[in-house]
Amino acid sequence: MLPGDFQPSRPTNKQLIKWGILSLVSLFFVAVVVGVLMFVISAWLGKPLSVFGYDEGPDQPIAFPHTRHVQELGLDCTFCHRNVETGAAATIPPVGLCMTCHAVAGDGLAEVEKLREVAAAGEAIDWVRVHRVPDFVRFNHSAHIIFFSEQDNILSSEVCAVCHGDVGSMVKVEQARYLKMADCVNCHRDNNAPTDCVTCHY
């Protein structure tokens, strides 16, 4: 038997072009199907797209774990997010508040040492925002906190979970709910809150 007898015949250029076009077309269809599936699944879960690690919160300049402070130390959300019951923004606490404990707590922990360096330099921490509505949208924390804590007779810090999920159990904060227009408006409708455009748009 001669070597090479079993080699497939070399495809002609015409065949190559046909196969190329066929694979491009099928690739396109697969992409469309995957895209639609991602949309359906994420809408069904009521969460932002969680494919390719989108649900992972961003890395922060200092790895601040809510778990340690909320679950283990029992700190209330409003202890740090002080503005949340009275203002539009919840606000992130300044380094000075962290240092009331970390001047002494957490010796030898790398992330706490980083925090102390920032404090000693008199700098602020550039926290990466996880939730943000566009500039043309008006959002107000206090209105929501007051409404739901009164209606359901719960603490302010128990209202947060409605929109943010169980932050106390997140090592890294991630977005738990869509908080896009349809989501906002649906909840407003269910609770007889205003749904006219100027409620949320300037």
Of 50 and 79, nearer to ligand HEC (C-beta) is: 79
Which residue, 65, 67, 84, is CA-closest to 159?
A: 84
H helices, E strands: number in the chain: 9, 0
For residue 72, give both structure tokens.
């283990």
Task: Identify the DSSP state of 127.
Answer: P
CB of 92 to ligand HEC, least distance (A): 5
> Based on CB atoms, which residue is closest to ligand HEC, 30 or 143?
143
Q: Which residues contact 197 (CB under 8 A, 6 or more apart)?
A: none
Considering the complex, what minimum distance in angstroms separates the CB of residue 74 from ligand HEC?
9
Residue 122 three-state SS: coil
Shorter beta-carbon distance to ligand HEC: residue 20 or 87: 87
Of 18 and 201, nearer to ligand HEC (C-beta) is 201
Q: Is the CA virtual torsion 189, 194, 197, 202 positive or negative?
A: negative
Taking the complex as a whole, the smallest distance from the CB of residue 50 to ligand HEC amounts, in Å, to 17
Taking the complex as a whole, the smallest distance from the CB of residue 44 to ligand HEC amounts, in Å, to 18
CA-wise closest residue to 90 among 77, 72, 102, 107: 77
Closer by beta carbon to ligand HEC, 6 or else 202: 202
Q: How far is the CB of 55 from ligand HEC (least distance, A)?
A: 14
Bridge partners, residue 201, by sequence: 137
Amino acid at 105: A
